[in-house]
Structure 1
Amino acid sequence: MARKTGSHAEITGPKIREAALHLFAQHGYAAVSMRQIAAEVGVQAGALYAYIDDKQALLFHLLESHMEHLLESWRAESATSEPLARLESFTRFHIRYHLDRPDEVFISYMELRNLSPENFAELEALRRRYEGELERILQEGSAAGLFTIADARVATMGLIAMLTGVSTWFRETGRLGRADIEEIYWEMTRRAVGVA
């Protein structure tokens, strides 16, 4: 919905999204009301509808923004054409990106079930585009004789699940730092595709 000139849309809109992201990650989409989001932002519940259509649209916007930013960030990072170097770049990028955004990652996986079928289809298309980036690396590396994998699609899904999983257990105060985790996960990824 268009806002009048001089409104605080450029401030309030992002505050609404930030509050919703935090509350959805903390309590779950189904348990959070529009009234709670409004209270977090400091506005009346009815005022939210000047910025968003409904809670479903808000969830979709958060998930869509996350996936679009993920794709843009990977494209900006991906410079090399050599499959092994690209696989290493993807591995390290995926870990860094996801560790920097725990709330976005959490709701991106846990709240897909709450999307309408139409919104789910759009999100799934974005996810497939990102997965396709890794799948192409694996296909090219396999075709070049660098990787030994039985099925590029299955390997893609397995690697993404492994790499994303780090965000569920890693703690900044833990025994290992981010650089250590990147090294260990890169070693596991290399071995998973048959690179000694």
Structure 2
Amino acid sequence: MARTTGSHSDITGPRVRSAALTLFARHGFAAVSMRQIAKEVGVQAGALYNYTPDKQSLLFDLMQTHMRDLMEARADQPASGSAMERLEAFTRFHIRFHSARPDEVFIAYMELRNLTPGNFAVIEGLRRQYEDTLEGILQDGQAEGSFAVPDTKIATLAVIAMLTGVNTWFREGGRLSLDQVEQVYWDMVRKTVAA
């Protein structure tokens, strides 16, 4: 299939993903058509298929990219120190990383139901890897005697849900700065797990 005259895959491909991200976050995956994405990008609907096989592939690509970016950024964080120090670093990292990506976070949580079973399994596996990082910190804290949680898996999911919730209400220029919010959340996480 020939590429549209004047289009460039290194420019149009990212524009397709960016338009899909914005539209999926604003209207929901099911409500967005390929025609709407094409209109947002400024290409004919048929031209989208030069950049993606279908809408499901676009959704999967957005989610997988988000999870891989998250895992890569997390891998760049220091992994030493006490469990308490590592938990604080995880807390602050999670809030910072996600607050800069509200559309990606919204899609990553709200559109899981729209993934095919195979795509869901891949994304769920990546999410589990990320959760395992936090659960490992909590298990280490239990072993050190600095944490007291009845179930590290439930505590992991609860902490991640609490931290991710910042995206639903935080806005720059609001009553609290991101630094202040980060500190409040760290205090809550610490008190939640402390022995």
- In the alignment, the residues of structure 2 paired with residue 72 and residue 176 of structure 1 have an alpha-carbon distance, to the nearest angstrom, of 29
Corresponding residue number in structure 2 for 1:27 = 27
- Shift of the alpha carbon at 1:132? 0.4
- In the alignment, the residues of structure 1 paired with residue 178 and residue 117 of structure 2 have an alpha-carbon distance, to the nearest angstrom, of 37
Opposite residue 130 of structure 1, the aligned amino acid is Y
- Shift of the alpha carbon at 1:7? 6.5
Does 2:48 match 1:48? yes
Name the % identity: 61
- In the alignment, the residues of structure 2 paired with residue 190 and residue 58 of structure 1 have an alpha-carbon distance, to the nearest angstrom, of 38
Opposite residue 126 of structure 1, the aligned amino acid is L
- In the alignment, the residues of structure 1 paired with residue 97 and residue 80 of structure 2 have an alpha-carbon distance, to the nearest angstrom, of 19
Corresponding residue number in structure 2 for 1:123 = 123
- Shift of the alpha carbon at 1:77? 1.4
- In the alignment, the residues of structure 2 paired with residue 39 and residue 78 of structure 1 have an alpha-carbon distance, to the nearest angstrom, of 43
Does 2:169 match 1:163? no
- In the alignment, the residues of structure 2 paired with residue 134 and residue 30 of structure 1 have an alpha-carbon distance, to the nearest angstrom, of 32
Corresponding residue number in structure 1 for 2:79 = 79
- Shift of the alpha carbon at 1:80? 2.1
TM-score normalised by length of structure 2: 0.95
- In the alignment, the residues of structure 2 paired with residue 113 and residue 187 of structure 1 have an alpha-carbon distance, to the nearest angstrom, of 33
- Shift of the alpha carbon at 1:8? 1.1
TM-score normalised by length of structure 1: 0.95
Corresponding residue number in structure 2 for 1:114 = 114
Corresponding residue number in structure 1 for 2:151 = 151
Q: How many matched pairs?
A: 192
- In the alignment, the residues of structure 1 paired with residue 90 and residue 78 of structure 2 have an alpha-carbon distance, to the nearest angstrom, of 8
Opposite residue 96 of structure 1, the aligned amino acid is R
Corresponding residue number in structure 2 for 1:9 = 9
> Over residues 47-73 of structure 1, what are the superposed CA-to-partner deviations in whole Å (9 max), with x where a residue is unaligned?
010110100000000000000100100
> Over residues 79-116 of structure 1, what are the superposed CA-to-partner deviations in whole Å (9 max), with x where a residue is unaligned?
32421111000000000111100000001000000000
Structure 2 residues without counterparts, runs of 5 or longer: none
- In the alignment, the residues of structure 2 paired with residue 43 and residue 7 of structure 1 have an alpha-carbon distance, to the nearest angstrom, of 9
- In the alignment, the residues of structure 1 paired with residue 79 and residue 132 of structure 2 have an alpha-carbon distance, to the nearest angstrom, of 16
Moved over 4 A (4+): none
Structure 2 SS opposite 1:149 = coil
- In the alignment, the residues of structure 1 paired with residue 172 and residue 51 of structure 2 have an alpha-carbon distance, to the nearest angstrom, of 35
State the superposition RMSD in angstroms: 1.5
- Shift of the alpha carbon at 1:27? 0.5
Structure 2 SS opposite 1:61 = helix
Corresponding residue number in structure 2 for 1:187 = 187
Structure 1 residues without counterparts, runs of 5 or longer: none
Opposite residue 149 of structure 1, the aligned amino acid is V
Corresponding residue number in structure 1 for 2:97 = 97
